[in-house]
Amino acid sequence: MLRREERNLENIPVGALGLIPVTGCEELGDHINDYLVKWRSESGPKHKDDVAFTGYERDTFIIDAAVPRFGSGEAKGIIKESVRGKDLYLLVDVCNYSLTYSLSGNINHMSPDDHFQNLKRVIAAVGGKARRINVIMPFLYESRQHKRTGRESLDCALALQELVRMGVDNIITFDAHDPRVQNAIPLNGFETVPSTYQFIKGLLRNVDDLQIDSDHMMAISPDEGGTNRAIYLANVLGLDMGMFYKRRDYTQIVNGRNPIVAHEFLGSSVEGKDVIIIDDMISSGDSIIEVATELKRRKAKRIFAAATFGLFTNGMDKFDKAYEEGIISGILTTNLIYQTPELLSKPYYINCDMSKYIALIIDTLNHDGSISSILNPSERIQNVLQKYKNGEKI
């Protein structure tokens, strides 16, 4: 298993490490900071006399920053301490709709646009003084508007180019809706990090009677766009893979999209098998529940839905109903975006914590080390599977 102490951290740090959780990402930032402080307090003493490691060991790596707003709803970014020469990592959760601000006496909930604007304000407040700026944006802003199918805007590409023009060196995101958006910034760092290992670990920790082989389990993609995720999961677990494709009515448009007429299944029999449906996000949840219902109609055993981002834009009622009816046995999403207390309290919900993984990426990048082995979790997956089969604690 890949552990932090096994990483090659011999390189001199790029600069003193600084972490800025932009408003709305504080909780994840605190968890990441705790790991970094712990690790560096363990390895820091051996570098204490080395000038290249100045500021290597600190009580906190979080830089005090804020984005206050005027009564008109306008805002400004403020950084309350020096960032000169630092290697900065800015964390932003564009999906945190729980935050509000006052607009001429009215309460507004923050949209992804507001969060992206706040990120730019903080970068502007840095004012070019940092050694390097890295943006960790787990849910890639506007990633669902990644391709042009008519006379329409390419928002994700524009956002990436704007960040690069402002001086951002690296952009790290998780399970991008379509990784090809990085073509918009081909000369800059762009990493899309998978969450497969955390899903498998979360499932194995919470379900103790899984039989992980092709006779008892299958990996399913809910649509043609997510096939690669399901293929990877099936390969590392040694399972068969199936997929659904959406049959749409192209003669009409509802809410800006062609409505789905039916979900058609391609793959071998799911009868009597546990099924993992894997996707990048659960939005309203209609597709996942329709796919799960189709799988149940084909006599699948238990159905687990795993998605990096649980948006649940229409609430949890339909998932409660699906769980009560035995259609879905578990839902796994990560803590990369805002999670409601209601979601965390659900008996079928499995939370997959990504903070240690992000801390490991930050620590390695700060040392200018390669993150290739971190981005490929196949070895860690095999180790955790072996532990599960041996009955060991995961």
Walk along the chain (394 residues) and give the pLDDT tens digit of each residue: 445 555 556 788 888 999 999 999 999 999 999 999 999 888 766 766 677 777 788 999 999 999 999 888 899 999 999 999 999 999 999 999 999 988 888 899 999 999 999 999 999 999 999 999 999 999 999 998 888 888 899 999 999 999 999 999 999 999 998 899 999 999 999 999 999 999 999 999 999 889 999 999 999 999 888 899 999 999 999 999 999 887 777 888 887 777 777 778 888 899 999 999 999 999 988 889 999 999 999 999 999 999 999 999 998 999 999 999 999 999 999 999 999 999 999 999 999 999 999 999 999 999 998 888 888 888 889 999 999 888 888 7
CA distances from residue 366 to 21, 118, 167 in whole angstroms, order as listed = 17, 24, 17
Task: Find the distance separating the first CA and the last CA of the chain, reported in whole Å.
Answer: 11
Instruction: Return the structure tokens found at 48.
Output: 């204490």
SS3 141: coil
Q: Report the candidate in 192, 17, 19 with the shortest Cα–Cα distance to residue 92.
A: 19
Cβ atoms within 10 Å of 289's Cβ, excluding its own: 19
The answer to whether the predicted template modeling score (pTM) of the entire model surpasses 0.85 is yes
C-alpha distances in angstroms, 245 versus 8, 223, 260, 298? Answer: 43, 5, 10, 16
Between the alpha carbon of residue 1 and those of residues 6, 54, 143, 376, the distances in Å are 9, 31, 32, 12
Q: Which amino acid is at 11?
A: N
The per-residue pLDDT for 72 is 87
How many whole angstroms separate alpha carbon 371 and alpha carbon 364?
A: 7
In one-letter notation, the amino acid at residue 47 is: H
| Strand order from edge to edge, sheet including 86-91 | 16-21, 86-91, 132-136, 170-174, 189-193
Torsion over CA: 172, 175, 176, 179 (sign)? positive
Q: Contact at 8 Å (CB) between 275 and 302? A: yes
